[in-house]
Amino acid sequence: MRNPELTPEACFQKALEIARRLQAKSWELRAATSRARLWQQQAKRPAIL
């Protein structure tokens, strides 16, 4: 079984948390955009925007 912490979704979430903590807006935008692209490829829609 895969470690749920190593999923792409979890990695993007962690990247967002780190970027926010560091107040690195460009990295936050990059992580959010990459996560949105992943969702698009998986035909997922976020529950809350």
- Give percent of the chain with pLDDT exceeding 70: 80
List the domain boundaries for the chain: 4-44
pLDDT above 90 (res 4): no
Contacts of 16 by beta carbon, 8 Å cutoff, 6+ apart: 28, 31, 32, 35
pLDDT above 80 (res 28): yes
Which pTM was predicted? Answer: 0.75
CB 31 within 8 A of CB 19: yes
Task: Report the C-alpha gap between 2 and 4 in whole angstroms.
Answer: 6
Across the chain, what does the average pLDDT equal? 88
